[in-house]
Structure 1
Amino acid sequence: MAPEAEGVEHLLCATCQQPAKLQCPRCLELGLEKDLAAFCSQECFKGSWTEHKKLHKPSAIEGWHYCTRRGQGRSLNMPDFKWTGDLRPARIGPMRPIPDHIPKPDYYLTGYPAKEMESRQQHAVKIRTEKDVAGIREACRIGREVLDLAAAAIRPGVTTDEIDRVVHEATIAAGAYPSPYNYFNFPKSVCTSINEIICHGIPDRRKLEEGDIVNVDVSVYYKGYHGDLNETFVVGEVDEASKQLVKVTYECLHKAIAICKPGTPYREIGEVITKHAKAHGMSVVRTYCGHGIGDLFHCAPNVPHYAKNKAKGTMKVGEVFTIEPMINLGSHRDKTWPDGWTSATEDGQRSAQFEHTLVITPTGYDILTARQPTSPPLWWEREGVQPEGQAAAAAASGGS
């Protein structure tokens, strides 16, 4: 351990929160944050070694092999990749620790969701019991609270890594696990997708800029059940085309939700979404879809958002799934960054997304991730504009 490195005396121990006087030498060498590397004693350092050493993994430090190891901005070893827009990856910070008392899914250590991949729920839609729905509802309630906290933190100058911190800490404080964490080795607790990024953006050290739009996709695992939702937010003053993109995407989601009831074919969701997006000169992403959710993060049914899709089956009481349309200003096609996760529009134009988890009821549906009166307002709510489809959705659900 390095003794009393400069500034360490003002930090707290990463293990017991007592004043710290020591720092992990490997963390110093790698240039990691001092608050993650500070300890009050050798005993605390040794006691936390099993978790702490994960911060030294190449995937956590190097940012998926090509993000900067020190400082900010572009890496000297940026891959030879044809970026589609202006956005570039910045340094990705280390994975934040998960306390021992938090119940964890099977992929926590391995990065592979074996239970999910081997489940028959990948092929057959499960009818959820009242107990299941109650558990999913509670996970969704926590997810909503976490997303609202993340939304309140968004402003110019804030990094998406800071948003990840807010999400991670709020999820842990609620006794839940951030579902994306190490899911197929995803290195963070939330997805943050800026401007031309369609989905699965990895939080990093890039600061949000005036005029950006950013999607925050929150998923939590609580007492054996997952909840999933996302929203797209404007950062400061945003151009009119981006504002309309965000609003139309929200309307696409709520118009699709409004048709949900027992007997509705899943393929009809894509028809409704495409009709509204196309009427505004926008396109619908086809690569990604909504999904079933419950004791597994992703399962049947698949819920495509584009027209003339081949989705099978009709909605039944007790089925729980997400609808999460991704709408682009330009082409619907996407291109994945070399990190294997970040999906960008092929033409560099902007993309937006909104998502809810819902359950089919005898009379329609119930939105389990519904916005609350305390949720930070979206841009049109601040300006007193009524989005299309919202009133119809509320009426169809009995006001849920």
Structure 2
Amino acid sequence: MIIIKNDKEIEYMRQAGKVVAETLLKIEKIVKPGISTGELDRIAEEYIKSQNAVPSFKGYYGFPASICASVNNEVVHGIPGKRVLQEGDIVSIDCGAILNGYHGDAARTFAVGEISKEAKMLIEVTKKSFFQGIEKAILGNRLTDISSAVQEYAEGQGYSVVRDYVGHGIGRDMHEDPEIPNFGKPGRGPKLTEGMVLAIEPMINIGQYNVRVEPNGWTVVTNDGTLSAHYENTVAIMKNGPEILTLS
């Protein structure tokens, strides 16, 4: 069941989204060669808590950290720890926060020092594929109009779209209906309605779209070892068009 949010609920989600956006900005400023993913997690958790919010991810089905930190060929759900970032790495940071009982959820992929042209293009295409998608996030369109736009753009640039993991509705629960694939034919799924709030999150690979889960039970990696990038925002479907709740 898709839960429609009223104006007060969307305002709460704006506030949660602001905490997430500011946390990601803080992380972007400190990502550099020599910092560990565990240190990024510590700083994110401290900031989220300083805003009277609660990290969404910590303890979620047993996840041990406040952010996901996925490096290079890791697609999503990387567990922060002792790994030290190296010059030329890319790192995808997924972050969630709960404020007033509502979640915000967003992800960005950051360069660590100087990165290859190939990696820069991947990050740029992943971000642009999100914005191609939300151009279709307007009243009266269907859910897969978003999905199709993401896929068409990313594949048109020569990349592949992860199939096994998708976006989702969000509100009082981090994962609500509907699921939002980043691929598929347009004109399918529920009609977009004012008050729907969606976490739209393209996961784009340089190589093939196939992925697998590492033995830790969490970290998802590309099957072929190629780079992957992730870009996500929490988006409210509004009368005058989509509103991104997790951009500062």
Question: What's the TM-score bracket when you normalise by the shorter of the two chains?
Answer: over 0.9
1:1-400 residue pairs with structure 2 within 5 A? 124-308=1-185, 312-370=189-247, 372=248
Q: Does the 8 A contact of 1:302 with 1:311 survive in 2?
A: no
Aligned to 1:42: none
Name stretches of at least 5 consecutive residues in structure 1 with no aligned partner: 1-123, 373-400
Task: Give the AA of the match of 2:147.
Answer: G
1:86 corresponds to: none
Q: Secondary structure at the match of 2:78?
A: coil
Contact 1:289/1:304 (8 A) holds in 2: yes
Conserved 8 A contact 1:155-1:235 = yes
Q: CA deviation at 1:363?
A: 2.0
For residues 176 and 300 of structure 1, the distance between their equivalents in structure 2, rounded to whole angstroms, comes to 24
In 2: Cα distance, 1:281 partner to 1:142 partner: 34
Structure with higher strand content = 2
Count of aligned positions: 248
Query: Per-residue deviation at 1:309?
Result: 8.1
- Once residues 149 and 289 of structure 1 are traced to their aligned partners in structure 2, the CA distance between those partners, rounded to angstroms, is 26
> Partner letter of residue 369 of structure 1?
T
TM-score by length of 2: 0.98
Aligned AA (1:277):
A
Q: Secondary structure at the match of 2:39?
A: helix
Report the more deviating stretch, 167-176 or 267-276. 267-276
Distance in structure 2 (CA, Å) of the matches to 1:304 and 1:335 = 18
8 Å CA contact 1:227, 1:357 repeated in 2:
yes
Residue pair 2:129, 2:202 contacting (<8 A) in 1 also: yes
1:248 & 1:270 partners in 2: Cα distance? 15
> CA separation in 2, counterparts of 1:275 and 1:366?
22
Q: Which has the higher contact order (CA 8 A, sep 6+)?
A: 2
Q: Distance in 1 between matches of 2:185 and 2:57?
A: 30
Structure 2 counterpart of 1:134, one-letter code: E
SS at match of 1:254: helix
Greater radius of gyration (CA): 1
Instruction: Give 2:60's aligned amino acid.
Output: Y
1: distance between equivalents of 2:59 and 2:187? 31
- Distance in 2 (CA, whole Å) between partners of 1:233 and 1:156 is 12
**What is the one-letter code of the residue matched to 2:19?**
I
Structure 1 contact 196–351 (Cα < 8 Å) conserved: yes
CA distance in 2, matches of 1:268, 1:287: 19
Distance 2:45 2:141 in 1: 37
Taking the aligned partners of 1:147 and 1:281, their CA distance within structure 2 comes to 28
Q: 1:309 to 1:193 in 2, by over 3 A?
A: farther
Aligned alpha-carbon RMSD (Å): 1.2
Helix, strand or coil at the partner of 2:148: helix
Q: Is the 8 A contact 2:145 2:187 kept in 1?
A: no
Q: TM-score, normalised by structure 1?
A: 0.61
Gaps of 5+ in 2: none
Distance 2:57 2:151 in 1: 28
Report the Cα distance in structure 2 between the residues aligned to 1:255 and 1:285, rounded to whole angstroms: 17
Partner residue, 1:67 = none
2:109 is paired with a residue of what secondary structure?
Answer: strand
Are the equivalent residues in 1 in contact too, given 2:143–2:187 (CA < 8 A)?
A: no
**SS state at 2:27 partner:** helix
Runs ≥4 in structure 1, deviation > 6 angstroms? none
Give the CA deviation at 1:310: 9.6
Distance (whole Å) between structure 2 residues aligned to residue 296 and residue 368 of structure 1: 16
Assess, with a 3 A threshold, how the Cα gap between structure 1 residues 312 and 143 changes in structure 2: closer, same or farther: same
Counterpart AA for 1:215: S
